[in-house]
A = this chain, B = another copy of it.
């Protein structure tokens, strides 16, 4: 197959098109301005890995800008001359291999950065409906599918320290795979967040739900409320009783 055919499709859900439309959307969410952030999608049929390049303005991303690797990630099937591969590539490949991911999203969300300043080793929020969009550590015995968190559960996302270079995050990222075997995301201190899922649709939904929860956690924190406090306990932290 010609390397250009890898990125040409009229299907808006083809990874080459979807990476671009999601980059545009994420840019306007303030998740990847200034060329920050990254994204990779595995083609659901060929299993080829599509990866947004380094240094490109996300709201201008075009299919021609993308790198494509073979399913075993041993060689590039397509390398745009103009760009360098994303520094996130080793992290993305680890998620594909170790988490059986179908897609990985990396943003510089300010809510993630703020939560990494407020929380020490893990982000925690409890008793919020939106938590139910995130899988728990339990699996349905019949279908084998992960069961979603319940409203009464606590969502915990590990926070790792940032390093000078993104590939140096690999060890700590993989350590969280051991310590939080069911997490779908890792926050990187003063940097942003990595989120993955079995499909790009799932990864996107996890990303939106977690970003919502991190935004809410910062708002609660500003009122003096620990985001993982018990239901009703929030009132004892408030100065003004209504």
Contacts and interface: CB of A to CB of B under 8 A. Distances in A.
A211 B209 CA distance: 20
Most B-side CB within 10 Å, residue of A128, A211, A223 = A128
A76 interface: no
A240 B222 CA distance: 10
Nearest to A191: B129
B129 A188 contact: yes
B117 A225 contact: yes
A128 to B, nearest CB: 5
Interface string A210-242: 011001100111111111100100110011111
Query: Can you tell how many copies of this chain the complex includes?
Result: 4
A190 interface: yes
A30 B212 contact: yes
Contacts of A35: 133, 205, 209
Given A113-B128, A117-B220, A190-B231, A226 B242 contact: yes
Nearest to A211: B33
Nearest to A116: B234
Interface residues of A, number: 60
A105 B220 CA distance: 25
Contacts of A43: none
A35 to B, nearest CB: 6
B33 A127 contact: no
Nearest to A114: B219
A240 B117 CA distance: 12
Most buried by B among A150, A204, A208: A208
Contact of A33 (B118, B209, B238, B240): B209
Contact of A117 (B191, B205, B223): B223
A108 interface: yes
Interface of A: 30, 33-36, 57, 108, 110, 113-114, 117-120, 124, 127-130, 133, 150-152, 161-164, 188-192, 201, 204-206, 208-209, 211-212, 215-216, 219-228, 231, 234-235, 238-242
Given A30-B212, A221-B223, A227-B242, 6 more contacts: A35-B205, A110-B216, A117-B225, A119-B242, A120-B235, A120-B241
